[in-house]
A = this chain, B = another copy of it.
Amino acid sequence: MINKNHQASNCNDCNCKTQIFKNLGSTELDLINNSRFQVDYKGGEIIFKQGTPSPYFVCITSGLAKIYIEGYGKNLILALVKPVDYIFGPGIYVDNRHYYSASAVEDCTACLVDASVFKKLIRENPDFAEDFLKRVSLQSIFNFEQIVSLTQKQMPGRIADVIFYLSEKIYCKNPFELSISRQDLADLSGMSKESAIRILKEFKEEGILTVAGNKMEILNVKQLRQISETG
């Protein structure tokens, strides 16, 4: 099921280099390259499970993954992860456990890199460390926005937020094709699948967007923004 291609290509040729590893020199990239291996996941496959040990960090190089907390009967999706970004759980600096699960939404390719190598680079390269801190901070800010959306907005506002997230941050276009299920939509907005579907239907009836299967288009951005803001 999982196809491991150890050292299939080189980090120096990878577009990770210019994005998340822009502060690393070629010696440092070699260090990563030598400790990494590449894995392909099919849509739906689990990348790692909450609670398991976490010996490496995961860089998504193609496809789309989700990270989610398995809660009390239902899941909460914390974020979707697309290329080129890495999944670096807080457990690495605490107890080497995963605090959330990750799975492939679309077919995915990931590079797994030994966490100790990553931590070594953080210690030795202040620019890399600072960039990492910035990413962690952005993640944290996103989590704050999410927690406010989920706890203080009603369902229409939450769905509006998720639609903007998908359109602006994940698929990055406006008529876009959903690769996530309705259940995922519900798990992103903290409600039941049925409620999520109903809100979509209302938006459709009010002419705010069109939904046809997995095709979605926002027709009235301004009104959707207003729904997001009034909660």
| A interface residues with partner B (beta carbon < 8 Å) | 69, 71-74, 76, 78, 90-94, 99-100, 119, 122-124, 126, 129-130, 133-134, 136-141, 143-144, 146-148, 150-153, 157, 190, 230-231
Chain B residues closer than 8 Å to A72, beta-carbon distance = 148, 152-153, 157, 230-231
Nearest CB on B from A162, distance (A): 13
Q: In the complex, A231 Cα to B38 Cα: how many Å?
A: 39
Q: Contact at A76–B151, with CB atoms within 8 Å?
A: yes
A147 and B137 contact, Cβ closer than 8 Å, known pairs A123-B129, A152-B73: no
Q: List 9 A-B contacts (CB under 8 A).
A: A71-B148, A78-B147, A90-B140, A93-B133, A93-B134, A94-B138, A122-B129, A136-B140, A146-B147
Tell me which of B91, B99, B134, B144 contacts A99 (CB under 8 A). B144
Chain B residue nearest to A72 in the complex (CB): B231
Identical subunits present: 2
Q: In the complex, A123 Cα to B132 Cα: how many Å?
A: 12
Q: Contact at A91–B137, with CB atoms within 8 Å?
A: yes
The 8 closest A-B pairs by CB, nearest first: A90-B137, A123-B126, A93-B137, A71-B152, A90-B140, A72-B231, A151-B190, A93-B134
Of the listed residues A91, A122, A141, A190, the one surrounded by the most CB atoms of chain B closer than 10 A to its CB is: A141
Nearest CB on B from A66, distance (A): 15
Chain B residue nearest to A88 in the complex (CB): B137
